[in-house]
Chain A
């Protein structure tokens, strides 16, 4: 059990490093899917079986499919990275982050709460039955509020991403967008030609 935890933990950290280090977003997304699966493994090892199942269904399934879909939809332009940090900037950020890890982990295992019950309490029953019982009794109001939140986000994302509303406004439709894209491409070509001419 402990061996499995440590191995899965090391793999999780490696895959998380892959997420932030990959140069292409699609590679980041694939690394993140593996990371989410490994976190589900951790949940299962901790006895949270319902949460592990939801993690795979909702995160690795629904959310990551959405992310990969958007990456594919945007095409090659999704690879744009903009300005890059210099090596000094990256080094400084790495040091700051390492310090943050040190600060966050410095208190672990020292407080009275950690010494409270080392193995004294039985791990909770994380089955679907137990968690849903808690959801529908003690947490009934938050559960319903969450439903409203999902409805609001659904309407909001449809409004944000829909083409129909924009197509009515002048200069915002699909045709105008294609024209603008064409113009941008032509300007870039002109620039390149000028630079070639200068050189």
Chain B
């Protein structure tokens, strides 16, 4: 069977994305959940670059650039929120932040 680069990278991207989803679901530590979100964003970037290579256009590379910028902003705000939560609850576990529970 011929090695198809596009199929290979789309499959790899799907696997990485699902591992990110699995991480968000099974982990209870907000820091790790944030890292898993970064993993999912990277999977999407991989798919975009693979498809840019497939179609021979440069648009995918530009989208990846924008996604990286948004990811940087998201990481900065997310980590600031984690620090803020830690200041009030002395914990970064999701189960410990349950003030709104009835």
Chain A residues with CB under 8 Å of B32's CB are: 19-20, 25, 28
Q: Are A20 and B27 in contact (CB under 8 A)?
A: yes
**Please, how many angstroms separate the alpha-carbon atoms of A27 and B9 in the complex?**
26
Q: Known: A70-B31, A83-B28. Contact between A134 and B58, CB under 8 A?
A: yes
Q: Are A51 and B61 in contact (CB under 8 A)?
A: yes
**Please, how many angstroms separate the alpha-carbon atoms of A20 and B27 in the complex?**
7
Chain B residues with CB under 8 Å of A131's CB are: 58, 61-62, 65
Chain A residues with CB under 8 Å of B39's CB are: 16, 19, 32, 35
**Please, how many angstroms separate the alpha-carbon atoms of A149 and B14 in the complex?**
28
Q: Pick the residue among A20, A118, A124, A154 that contacts B4 (CB under 8 A).
A: A118
On chain B, the number of residues with a Cβ less than 8 Å from chain A's Cβ atoms is 75
Chain A residues with CB under 8 Å of B29's CB are: 25, 78-82
Chain B residues with CB under 8 Å of A55's CB are: 45, 68
B34 nearest CB neighbor, chain A only: A67
Residues of B31-87 at the interface with A, using a CB-CB cut-off of 8 Å, are 31-32, 34-36, 38-39, 42, 45-46, 49-50, 52-59, 61-62, 64-66, 68-77, 79-84, 86-87
Main secondary structure of the interface of A (DSSP, over half): helix
- The residue in B18, B23, B36, B74 that gathers the most chain A C-beta atoms within 10 A of its C-beta is B18
**Please, how many angstroms separate the alpha-carbon atoms of A31 and B66 in the complex?**
24
Residues of A25-76 at the interface with B, using a CB-CB cut-off of 8 Å, are 25, 28-29, 32, 35-36, 39, 42-43, 46-48, 50-51, 54-55, 58-59, 62-63, 66-67, 70-71, 73-74
Chain A residues with CB under 8 Å of B22's CB are: 20, 93-94, 97
Chain A residues with CB under 8 Å of B93's CB are: 80-82
Chain B residues with CB under 8 Å of A20's CB are: 19-20, 22-23, 26-27, 32, 36
Q: Is A189 an interface residue (CB 8 A)?
A: no
Q: Are A66 and B75 in contact (CB under 8 A)?
A: yes
Q: Are B66 and A157 in contact (CB under 8 A)?
A: no
**Please, how many angstroms separate the alpha-carbon atoms of A122 and B52 in the complex?**
11
Q: Known: A93-B25, A101-B18. Contact between A150 and B72, CB under 8 A?
A: yes
Q: How far is the CB of A91 from chain B (nearest CB, A)?
A: 11
B22 nearest CB neighbor, chain A only: A97
Q: Are A125 and B58 in contact (CB under 8 A)?
A: yes
**Please, how many angstroms separate the alpha-carbon atoms of A66 and B34 in the complex?**
12
Given contact pairs A73-B83, A80-B91, enumerate 17 new A-B contacts (beta carbons under 8 Å). Answer: A12-B12, A20-B32, A32-B35, A46-B53, A47-B53, A51-B45, A54-B65, A80-B29, A82-B28, A83-B28, A97-B22, A97-B25, A150-B69, A153-B77, A156-B77, A160-B83, A161-B83
Q: Nearest 4 A-B pairs (CB), nearest first? A: A121-B56, A82-B93, A20-B23, A153-B73
Can you name 29 A-B pairs with beta carbons within 8 Å?
A12-B12, A13-B16, A20-B20, A39-B45, A43-B46, A46-B53, A62-B72, A74-B31, A74-B82, A74-B83, A78-B92, A79-B29, A82-B91, A90-B26, A101-B18, A104-B14, A108-B10, A108-B11, A109-B4, A116-B55, A124-B52, A124-B56, A124-B57, A130-B58, A131-B58, A149-B70, A152-B73, A153-B72, A153-B76
